[in-house]
Structure 1
Amino acid sequence: MQCLVAIKRAYLLGILGVLLLVAILLYFSFNPEQGLLFPKCPFNQYLGIYCSGCGTQRAIHDLLHFRFVEAMSHNFLLLPAFLAIIHHFLVKWKVIKGKSLLSYRYAPLIVLAIVLIFMLLRNLPIAPFTHLAP
């Protein structure tokens, strides 16, 4: 029975790995600014405001091309989020020792507060917050 569970887990991880590779190849090959392949943000399209994720597709494209400054200009929150997620999985897989920042009791509430504050600040029409807009 355990062997069957291990096979199912390996199969699922294989499928997720292939999907991740396809997504990376898509974002590397196609610029979200110049094509209709990627969806537009419904918050921005219908409400005219920038959500916390606006600019993420362009930022991922820039990160895959090692353009870190451009990626940060599209979505300042993306790189810290990636680093926190990578740190979480490195701790979970016991590559590094310690406790993940995302495993603390109030981590989900803190992340939610950061995301909502970022969304509020990037929509303020005054400097320096205008630099947070994608």
Structure 2
Amino acid sequence: MREVNADSQRVTPAPGSVARRLAVPGGLLVAVAGAFAYVGTVDPNEPGHYPACPLFRYTGLYCPGCGGLRSAYAVAHGDLGTALGANAVAVFGYLVLAAVWTVWVVRSVQGRPLRVEPRPPLLWALGALLLVFTVVRNLPFGGWLHP
């Protein structure tokens, strides 16, 4: 429930509802932290812990996600260089997720909704970036992008 201050016509969040507004972002934080904790304890560099990438297994080509678990493992252990070497796009994704989550929490505390509405040019640019990343990492000169 929100209260409207008659003097300023400003909507202020009702007391006691901040915890309820933070429940979903908090739940997401717990889920992501749990996933990183699991990957941080079960090394993806050891064979047999995780299934192989089907695209790589059957074609020998690296998909944009190949090396993502290894990068998460490295991030969980504080090794940013290794994480970037395993999958730079995944590390960028982790940073974007952290930034959006932070904005979400701040807006939730303020009682304002989070609206993420990427425009089509941004979505096309991100798709093009992933396509270029995938093609370059599979070319002979793109070996530095291999996981």
| TM-score for the superposition, normalised by structure 2 | 0.68
Unpaired segments ≥5 residues, structure 2: 1-18, 108-115
Unpaired segments ≥5 residues, structure 1: 1-5, 96-101
2:37 corresponds in structure 1 to 25
SS at match of 2:88: coil
Determine which of 16, 30, 36 is the counterpart of 2:48.
36
Could you tell me how far 1:58 is from its partner in structure 2? 0.6
2:65 corresponds in structure 1 to 53
Instruction: Give the percent of matched residue pairs that are identical in Structure 1 and Structure 2.
Output: 28
Determine which of 82, 93, 100 is the counterpart of 2:94.
82
Between Structure 1 and Structure 2, whose CA radius of gyration is higher? 2
| TM-score for the superposition, normalised by structure 1 | 0.74
Question: 1:101-134 CA distances to partner (integer Å, 9 max, x unpaired)?
Answer: x7441222211111111000000012xx210111
Number of residue-to-residue matches in the alignment: 120
Which of structures 1 and 2 has the larger relative contact order (alpha carbons within 8 angstroms, sep 6+)? Answer: 2
Q: Using the alignment, how far apart are the partners of 1:93 and 1:73 within structure 2?
A: 31
Q: Using the alignment, how far apart are the partners of 1:88 and 1:120 within structure 2?
A: 28
1:122 aligned onto 2:134: no
Could you tell me how far 1:39 is from its partner in structure 2? 2.0
Distance 1:93 1:20, change over 3 A: closer
SS at match of 1:76: helix
Q: Using the alignment, how far apart are the partners of 2:97 and 2:67 within structure 1?
A: 19
Equivalent residues of 2:64, 2:133 under 8 A apart = yes
Could you tell me how far 1:92 is from its partner in structure 2? 3.7
SS at match of 1:54: coil
